[in-house]
């Protein structure tokens, strides 16, 4: 399922970050990274929307990653909206920035994940140039029971790259990538590391009930933490998106929640749910700056007609090693 495009308007609220009022830019599916003194947000939008900031408080809109739709998206994903790119993921590996992104038809698993790279994120640099490397993963309606959207890259303790992705259907998928990050080297059937019940009365090309999507893997101490979003975004006051988590000592799982239930069997421990002020919180990333971890996600602002906005909150860990939010 997904997605709404980022809105160009600058939006504000009174939430604080390090004692400063945050500028609430409107985003969906944000991820964040830092290069030198600049922070960058990448999010769903035409060609992948980009914002930059010196302080994570005041944000400037940058040019999109892809000025025009990559030709392969128009042929491999029929009926997708031109250059409507969803749920990017940004990493720095091998001396380059790697941006995985999704092209999909809303509510169907006619979808694919692509990859673009750049030497730098600074648009004023002479080295700045996004190069699209094409398709990495594709799903075929009626044949595949996974969905190739919401990608997230992680390297294991041996430095081997893995890509997790997924939305609805059979759940969250994990595959091994080649060392150059360009291709999947696992053979099918692929690993399902988190799932909820699928509505078997729905045709295979249509998303069913018990929604789970937007995986993000984060290594902390001896555990890999798998964050996912449950239920539904993009419905204004009816959005009931929430962030769930499980963990494993092995990258391939099994991932367990706090009660010991496997995530592949429907387990999950709540990290954050919406309330009367913010509807449908979800599609999170986790980042670390100066030794502090942060949860980055979107939420629907009840005070502004349910518009989707950026939230960045400090993430702490309890005595048992489970993530807890520190919201001022």
What are the binding residues for substrate?
29, 107, 147-150, 167-169
User: Which backbone phi and psi does 182 adopt, to 5 degrees?
Assistant: -95, -20
Least confident among 49-58, 147-156, 204-213, 248-257: 204-213
Is 213 a known active-site residue?
Answer: yes
- CATH number, domain of 65, equals 2.115.10.20
Q: What angle do CA 184, 147, 28 make, to 5 degrees?
A: 105
* pLDDT for the residue 22: 58
pLDDT in tens, 274-307: 999 999 999 999 999 999 999 999 999 999 988 9
Distance CA 100, CA 29 (A): 13
- Checking if the pLDDT of 106 tops 90, the result is no
In a domain, 11, yes or no: no
CA distances from 146 to 90, 161, 212, 301 (A): 22, 20, 12, 31
Q: Is 328 an active-site residue?
A: no
Number of domains observed in the structure of the chain? 1
Distance between CA atoms of 154 and 164, rounded to whole angstroms?
8
Best CA proximity match to 314, nearest among 294, 296, 299, 297:
294
* Neighbouring C-beta atoms of residue 210, cutoff 10 Å: 14
- Average pLDDT of span 54-83: 90
Domain membership of residue 10 (yes or no) is no
- Locate tokens 């992705």: which residue? 165
User: Quick check: is 137 in a domain?
Assistant: yes
| pLDDT surpasses 80 at 197 | no
User: Is residue 260 in a domain?
Assistant: yes
Range of the domain at 236: 16-326
Q: For residue range 7-26, what is the model confidence (pLDDT) as tens digits?
A: 223 333 434 454 455 568 99
- Joined together, the tokens standing for residue 66 give 């892809």
pLDDT attached to residue 14:
38
For residue 247, pLDDT over 60 is answered with: yes
Q: Which residues carry a binding-site annotation? A: 29, 107, 147-150, 167-169
Q: Which residues pair with 270 in a beta bridge?
A: 244
End-to-end CA distance of the chain: 32
Rounded CA separation 277/81 (Å) = 32
Specify if 286 maps to a domain.
yes
pLDDT tens digits, residue range 255-273? 999 999 999 999 999 999 9
Domain membership flag for residue 9: no
Tokens of 225: 């933490």
- Residue 150, pLDDT > 50, answer yes
Q: Is residue 4, in this structure, part of any structural domain at all?
A: no
210 within a domain of the structure (yes/no): yes
Q: Which of 76, 84, 132, 213 is catalytic?
A: 213
């Amino acid at each position: 399922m997904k997605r709404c495009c980022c809105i160009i308007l600058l939006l504000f609220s009174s939430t604080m970050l390090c004692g400063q009022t945050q500028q609430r830019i409107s985003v969906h599916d944000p991820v964040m990274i830092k290069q030198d003194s600049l922070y960058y947000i990448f999010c769903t939008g035409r060609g992948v929307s980009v914002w930059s900031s010196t302080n994570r408080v005041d944000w400037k809109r940058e040019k999109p990653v892809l000025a025009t739709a990559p030709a392969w998206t128009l042929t491999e994903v029929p009926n997708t909206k031109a250059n409507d790119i969803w749920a990017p993921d940004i990493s720095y590996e091998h001396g380059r920035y790697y941006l995985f992104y999704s092209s999909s038809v809303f509510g169907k698993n006619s979808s694919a994940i692509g990859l673009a790279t750049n030497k730098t994120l600074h648009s004023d640099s002479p080295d700045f140039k996004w190069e699209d490397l094409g398709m990495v993963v594709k799903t075929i309606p009626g044949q595949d029971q996974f969905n190739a959207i919401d990608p997230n890259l992680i390297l294991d303790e041996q430095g081997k790259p893995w890509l997790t992705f997924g939305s609805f259907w059979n759940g969250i998928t994990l595959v091994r990538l080649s060392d150059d990050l360009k291709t999947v080297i696992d053979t099918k059937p692929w690993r399902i590391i988190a799932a909820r019940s699928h509505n078997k009365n729905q045709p295979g090309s249509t998303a069913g009930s018990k929604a789970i999507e937007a995986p993000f893997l984060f290594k902390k101490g001896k555990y890999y933490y798998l964050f996912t979003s449950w239920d539904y975004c993009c419905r204004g006051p009816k959005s009931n998106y929430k962030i769930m988590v499980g963990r494993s000592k092995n990258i391939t799982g099994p991932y367990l929640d706090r009660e010991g239930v496997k995530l592949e069997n429907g387990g999950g421990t709540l990290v954050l749910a919406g309330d009367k002020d913010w509807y449908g919180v979800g599609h999170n990333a986790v980042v670390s700056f100066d030794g502090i971890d942060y949860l980055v996600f979107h939420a629907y602002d009840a005070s502004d007609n349910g518009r989707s906005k950026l939230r960045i909150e400090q993430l702490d860990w309890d005595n048992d090693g489970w993530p807890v939010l520190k919201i001022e």
